[in-house]
Structure 1
């Protein structure tokens, strides 16, 4: 594990609770960006799972301002007064995964994995492109169809209070006030078919980007966007894959098989490119081999209104 002699207290990571067992309790692609980065950097950390209705009271009690768009208070967040005193409002808690990633890179500049490795202008540009393509797979704001498969599963894996809160708030925010339990198509095959072009577009982008990065000397041979060098885009991809796994191993297996030679022919289009092993599966296997998918922090809790 990597450590910094200047820090006297571990980073404390706030995640969203669920009923899933062990390390699989972490399911959200948003919080996973922070968890997987902590794991990949080898940073020792403590962790706390927070039920959905408790997120806002906890963050507000530490002076965290509401988000300017979307839901007012969200996770991930890290609690670390030692390094956040003059960095964020309230001086104790930082939210938003990209801001956290930059902060962790700054605190631990010598770890092998950096969310935004040098040259930073290029890795930050790469992140924006990768994020756009990945969100186009799973998030409705980018017309991503994967949310139709995933969102109905979320209430089923959350703790009881979290599930009630999630259904109520997401129903209220839906244009037709439709419960997230009903956001999928009547025939899931329609959603898989709609999802497919965005996945193939990302695979082609990943393969092309990796080849160019290796040729340019940004990384050696490897499965990531910069070959042997992990970037924030790879972390986000792995986060989305964990989200699929949280919906069931069969969901993840089907997603990983998209574009591969052994995928059933009935799911493919004529003339479609075929990979012996999808670049997406290669990233998943690499994260698993390193143990980054299973590593967890030491349990700890900070209470609402803690003024230490």
Structure 2
């Protein structure tokens, strides 16, 4: 049996395949800690079977809902889902590595703005769908259009509605930028899971809409150019290890 941790991720047609912000949280966590792992790609329709194979409970039992990331650690024979729980597990199991939850940092971890998150979802879901492999694209479109009651392309059409969505996202970025004022990271010079969360969302946008797109170039100018500088600090941790 391999002694490597396995990170389960959803493939795409993007370079290096990795795209999901939630899986990026787990990948950044592993890379920051310098832990040895491998990536196994799982298409959307196959995630439920993976959970059953690993004897994992659904992410949301009432629905039920099955999501990635998931890791399996052969050293403890544990399978863990949910990026936050994965990070906590890695801190507890490998305490000699970089701590993702340094003492006193818990209050800063839940920094996501729900309204901005919804606005970003409306923009990003259609883009993400197109980037997926055909088998996952079909599943993704069907489940998301059932959830929202409309075609994905109708969530944030070009025009005033899309501009309003970007405005809400920009406002939320401004709030996060205020947490980083005069600092490299949320806690100062110490990286934490709060930074992993921010970087994962920023990277999802950059990789999905393209670094050469006008929308990404606009984001690079927000908050005095904060975001291109911020994400550059994570470049060495963007490794997609297969």
Q: Report the TM-score, using the length of structure 1 for normalisation.
A: 0.71
Taking the TM superposition and a 5 Å limit, the aligned residue runs for 1:77-96 are 77-84=70-77, 92-96=78-82
Give the superposition deviation at 1:227: 1.6
Is 2:144 the counterpart of 1:165?
no
**Corresponding residue number in structure 1 for 2:193:** 232
* Residues 41 and 93 of structure 1, relative CA distance in 2, 3 Å threshold: same
> Following the alignment from structure 2 to structure 1, what is the Cα–Cα distance between the partners of residues 88 and 68?
16
Give the superposition deviation at 1:203: 1.1
> Following the alignment from structure 1 to structure 2, what is the Cα–Cα distance between the partners of residues 283 and 193?
20
Taking the TM superposition and a 5 Å limit, the aligned residue runs for 1:244-259 are 244-245=205-206, 246-249=208-211, 250=213, 251-259=215-223
Give the superposition deviation at 1:114: 1.6
Runs (5+) with no aligned partner, structure 1: 1-7, 85-91, 212-221, 261-276, 299-308
Among residues 119, 125, 131, which one is paired with 2:107 in the alignment?
125
8 A Cα contact 1:148 1:185, kept in partner: no
Give the superposition deviation at 1:285: 1.6
8 A Cα contact 1:238 1:284, kept in partner: yes
Off by >6 Å, runs of 4+ in structure 1: none
Give the superposition deviation at 1:71: 6.0
8 A Cα contact 2:11 2:41, kept in partner: yes
> Following the alignment from structure 2 to structure 1, what is the Cα–Cα distance between the partners of residues 120 and 221?
15
**Corresponding residue number in structure 2 for 1:61:** 53
Is 2:150 the counterpart of 1:178?
yes
Of stretches 154-163 and 240-249 in structure 1, the one that deviates more from structure 2 is: 240-249
> Following the alignment from structure 1 to structure 2, what is the Cα–Cα distance between the partners of residues 196 and 20?
25
- Greater Rg, structure 1 or structure 2? 1
Is 2:89 the counterpart of 1:103?
yes
**Corresponding residue number in structure 2 for 1:50:** 42
Where 2:234 maps in the other structure, the secondary structure is helix
* Residues 101 and 70 of structure 1, relative CA distance in 2, 3 Å threshold: farther
8 A Cα contact 2:25 2:197, kept in partner: yes
Where 1:18 maps in the other structure, the secondary structure is coil
**Residues 8-29 of structure 1 deviation map (CA, whole Å, 9 limit, x = unaligned):** 711100011111122xx11111
> Following the alignment from structure 2 to structure 1, what is the Cα–Cα distance between the partners of residues 115 and 228?
18
**Residues 60-81 of structure 1 deviation map (CA, whole Å, 9 limit, x = unaligned):** 2221111236661000000124
8 A Cα contact 1:59 1:93, kept in partner: no
Q: Report the TM-score, using the length of structure 2 for normalisation.
A: 0.89
**Corresponding residue number in structure 1 for 2:24:** 32
> Following the alignment from structure 2 to structure 1, what is the Cα–Cα distance between the partners of residues 184 and 11?
31
**Corresponding residue number in structure 1 for 2:184:** 223
**Residues 133-161 of structure 1 deviation map (CA, whole Å, 9 limit, x = unaligned):** 4x553x22xxxx22222111011100000
Among residues 123, 126, 148, which one is paired with 2:122 in the alignment?
148
